[in-house]
Structure 1
């Protein structure tokens, strides 16, 4: 249960970091009157679209050799 919580918190943190680096606010998939901020699912949808893009490996290339000191490895160790 603790590992699951750690993995969920890591995913939420990475999604939030991604959202902070966006040039513009994502459009709402399910717009609510009176709310102009985006939801977690809106950013998650953008990440999924980017990951399925044919040029995704230009942005996030596959590592040639293991990177031991990366932030992602540290997060995964916390979740494991």
Structure 2
């Protein structure tokens, strides 16, 4: 079994808001605008003003186990399709 992201979320340490990206390319910013989350369950990405990241957000990402073909990702590009786990 493969480990996969089941929740892509963070909590801003400046305003306290929890923001979550549920689908690919779903960019979300907190209400104060200091942190952001993107990528849904495909490519978790974080945005923050400066290092260290721990000063700006608390990580709330959750992982699960991918089982069978139900959790396969299908992406297309260059005229073809790729199915990977």
TM-score normalized by structure 1?
0.26
Report the structure, 1 or 2, having the larger helix content.
Answer: 1
